[in-house]
Chains A and B, each alone.
Chain A
Amino acid sequence: MPHTTETETETVARSTVTAPPGARTPRPAGKARAARVWQRLTPWLFLAAPLALLITFTYAPVANMVAYSFTDWDGVSPELHYTGVENYVDIFTREELFQVFLVSGYYLAASAVQIVLALYFATILSFSVRFRNFFKGVLFFPYLMNGVAIGFVFLYFFQDGGTLDSVLRLFGHETDRAWLSTSTSANVSLAGVSVWRYLGLNFVLFLGAIQSIPGELYEAAELDGANRWHQFRYIIAPGIRPVLSLSVILSISGSLAVFEIPYIMTGGATGTETFVIQTVKLAFQFNKTGLASAAAVVLLLIILAVTWVQRRLVPDDKVDLV
């Protein structure tokens, strides 16, 4: 929004310069037309740079990818053949390519936990609590770290005799468990890491939404005898609904497209392979760039569909607290 206002004021300023009122020029009509052209052109000039970047680095590669998905390209060969919808047929007829979505279930469950936790912490820290800012920092910090670094850190964390084992031993719990060594245990561990990482983002979103609720509402509620739970139930929860539904969409699409953490930590071994890891392997291990592009397009469509269904089920009403 602030962008539009800026360009508008800019345009106004510009037109006063090019066509001053009561100009003493011989051909005012031409000047006026020129001014109108400028007026129209200016916003586009401002947009030129970002649009050029957007097209070159986002839309062109996507268009390319869609084009590759109809070919048998291997990623380097100068020759590629148009194969029609063969790649798509392949994806929908080979069930093992879709089985990996089961792994997303772990992350989906984890993101439910994550949203609840984030909501809990955001609510608590929106009231005045001692060391409030410190806790905010603690919760948000993991989100600032690079996913690859997190992967390496947690590899040591889950190692045999690593950090997790030592901490548990400190509390007198002797474990002899290889955390990443069975499919269930590995997926739960990885989903746990992902909760740790993304909790901060949800938390900040919720906190922002909660803090935008006018303070008088709480005061009024308190006068009416509402306790903290009531405040949450009748003020905070409805007040942050749009952000909540955004978080749900983000976490659904996020859990379908998990990549960094399992890729770094297990490389998809022991039943932790996700759809994106599988796509990367198709493209860069087996050189099936065409098939992998089709898989990426399918993932995009699935996420769009999920979002659409979700928006249908939970329409985004205007929030009116007062």
Chain B
Amino acid sequence: MLKTFPIGGIHPPENKITSSKGIKRMPVPKVVYVPISQHIGVPSEIIVDKKEKVEIGQVIAKSSGFVSSNIHSPVAGVVTKLDKIIDSSGYKKQCIVIRTDVKNETNFEEIDFPLKTKIELEPKEIIQRISDFGIVGLGGATFPSHVKLNVREDKKIDCLIINGVECEPYLTADHRLMIEKAEEIAVGIEILLVALNINKAIIGIENNKKDAIDIFKKVTQNNTKIQIAALKVKYPQGGEKQLVRAILNREVPKNGLPLDVGVIVHNVGTIFAIYEAVQYNKPLIERVVTVTGKKMENPDNYWVKIGTPIKDLIEEVGGLPEGTRKLINGGPMMGKAIKNTDVPVTKGTSGILVISEEEASRGKTENCIRCGECVFVCPMGLEAHLLMNLAEKGMFEKASNEDIMTCIECGSCSYVCPSHRPLLDYIRFGKNSVKKLETAKK
């Protein structure tokens, strides 16, 4: 019996077209657009000026609060302007535009370090380095990693969980990374174990990635600290709370964090970034991005510099196919539709999905037939139909009492609704309004 979480969940078609394609390196873009708000929390503070020359890896915007992160220049070049560019939030956000210096060789160096297993730093130094080098959660939530690692003294941690689930359909970035960099990730896990001063880590991988499971089993053969947990394929297993429940059978309390049950969860991509930062002083300036879509000519996985405009990626895989109706930053379940191809890749971009007419259009919204399917699939045990109704009618206080704030926005309810009701749209609206009400009360 494979492990999984008990309530709700769905199994959308996986469509992992690119799972057998090795990660290639994206050519260095001519211009990069680096948004200063790539993480959850306070936007970073710009510390470069127009026309200033920057080196690759130089800090160009520094952390400006507790929950914030440094941002480094992904290329060596010249800051051409500080402008507002539409990013995947759908709004124009402050951006640092850097023109790549084509003569500077550092831009084109292959960044492929040899494996280095010896950990030389003290726990405090490790966390400091993670903070300095701008590491954030690469699974999509982009929560600054050092904040997660700074565990308060009264909390006891006994287990580190590595999220290699990648439950989103289409995306294969984490999958490929696990296959190609298994040894490095294992070292990265060791680094975090040192930083947290614990000796148990479990890597959770869904059973549709058997090759990754096998590789990790081989790599960690002689390592008693790291275990592998093969999980049943079920969306949204990559949600922190679901993953902790699936692997350890511990349930994170309502409004709580995995920290409350003694667990810290990190994504495999984050672990690799931590490995590179700690062992080789490499800041987070590139990440793996899956560029995919059913009609794409050659969908693939790429190492992409942060700030690369999406149109460069699409050109690289053969341009937009005929009949493209939707571009998604992320996976099809939780990704954001973007307005145009000028949107840059950010630290949270795990994939670019191109969707054609047939899949893009939403079905016509019909009356709720009260089938209850949204209730059965909700991994948080919420009643989506009820929450939607309450939000639509503006009864936000009641919605709050029905635990609307615990919704993880996985989209399972909208996915299964036979009447194509925009459940999650309204629930998100309800959450926003509840948040506003709460801040107004304070």
- Chain A complexes with chain B: no
Binding site for B on A (CB under 8 A): none
Binding site for A on B (CB under 8 A): none
